[in-house]
Amino acid sequence: MPICYIDQIKDLKDKKVFIRVDFNVPQDETGAVTEDTRILGAIPTIRYAAEHGAKVVLASHLGRPKGEKKAKYTMTPASQRLAELLGIPVKQAPDCFGTEVTRLIDSLKSGEIVMLENVRFYPGEEKNDPEFARQLANGCDVYVNDAFAVSHRAHASVEAITKIIPVIAAGFLMRDEMTYFDKAMSNPVRPLVAILGGAKVSGKLEVLEKLVTKVDKIVIGGGMAFTFLKSMGYTVGKSLVEDELIPTAKKIMDTAKERGVKFYLPVDCIVADVFEATATNFVTTAQEIPDGWMALDIGPATATLFAETLRDAKTVIWNGPMGVFEMDAFCRGTFAMAEAVANCFATTIIGGGDTDSAVRKAGVENRVSYISTGGGAFLELLEGKTLPGVNALEVA
């Protein structure tokens, strides 16, 4: 069923428009926002609503306050940063519902914006409580979901509220997310290459099982590679391995072979004696990791191999770093992968917070086609799941 988008709503003037955004952004010890990508991503939708005369009510969560009001999780820094980026005031509500909040919303003039307090200050948010959703809705006329990153959660401000506010739509960021995902998975230009990294196979098991039936090539890096390498009979030292998933790893590789999907694993890696930034390290082949040593990055030969797999790619999806890129000694593999993705002549889609961070640290964020704001939501789409927040927007 189709989804209505905010620019398809005929008249927003003087309407109270509730926009669910995802301003769950990093902050320093003073509370100042240190990375504002998600705020920037929501600006086109917010600006469109304000410029068309809406009375804009923004809602988001921050962190995991677990249903309690905690000062360090206030939305104030995010609303201040939004105001700076927009160049217009953004009012900060003292709560996300209640008499004072209602008064503040009712006093809004056309084009004005208010930011509600953290919706996760109340347990009703994560419980998808209809009553809490009614309190959040607060007489709003239009609901807009522009928070793809939380749309895999059936929460009150994402799912239950769509049954209360009469007009529902998606924002421009949501439209971009769904458009690029559809381009990558529903009707991709081939060859389609999936790059998966990160620590564990278990976190991406369903993704792997789905992708092996969809893609032309799979590239595996990061800690998860060593479960596959061990399943092939190689010694991997103290590298991260999920022994209980070794049979599953074998099955995935067997499926890839049966379907003609090319499956790539590291051929060399950088090993360390301890998991520390200052650890002693050296390059060794993936088949000969010494006892007592652990692999923390792919090696230079693997970086070259992985780059070669992208030479003929037409669509590339990447989720998960190639190593512990947060440590300077083990960042080269991930940064080389980022450069290779940026250099290939393909539609390139990056998903996941760590991968997003790595691409930006490598300085190539402007040379990839799209960086998704979603981590869990992105993975669930790759798994073939329906996102509750997206499903709730579909209209007959």
Amino acid at the residue 153: R
Residue 353 is a catalytic residue: yes
CB-based contacts of 334, cutoff 8 Å, min separation 6: 197, 297, 321, 322, 323, 325, 358, 362
Structure tokens at 168: 């529902």
Helix (H, G, I), strand (E, B) or coil at 353: helix
* 98 belongs to the catalytic site: no
Options 47, 127, 200, 250, the catalytic residue: 200
Which DSSP letter does residue 167 get? E
Catalytic residue at 384?
A: no
Q: Which strands, in side-by-side order, build the sheet including 294-298?
A: 281-285, 268-272, 294-298
Contact 299, 333 (CB under 8 A): yes
Catalytic residue among 320, 323, 353, 389: 353
Query: CA nearest 3: which of 180, 186, 170, 158?
Result: 170
Residue 197 appears among annotated catalytic residues: no
In sequence order, what are the beta bridge partners of 319? 196
Rounded distance between C-alpha atoms, residue 115 and residue 307, angstroms: 44
Q: Per 3-state DSSP, what percentage of the chain is helix, strand, and coil (rounded to 5)?
A: 40, 15, 45
Closest-CA residue to 352 (of 196, 163, 215): 196
Helices (H), 107-218: 123-126, 130-137, 172-181, 205-211
Give Cβ neighbours of residue 53 (< 8 Å, ≥ 6 apart): 12, 13, 14, 15, 110, 111
Contact 157, 119 (CB under 8 A): yes
Find the length of the chain: 396
In sequence order, what are the beta bridge partners of 196?
220, 319
Annotated catalytic residue: which of 15, 16, 20, 38? 38
Cβ 136 vs Cβ 93: under 8 Å: no
C-beta separation of 77 from 33 below 8 A: yes
| Residues with a known catalytic role | 38, 200, 353, 376
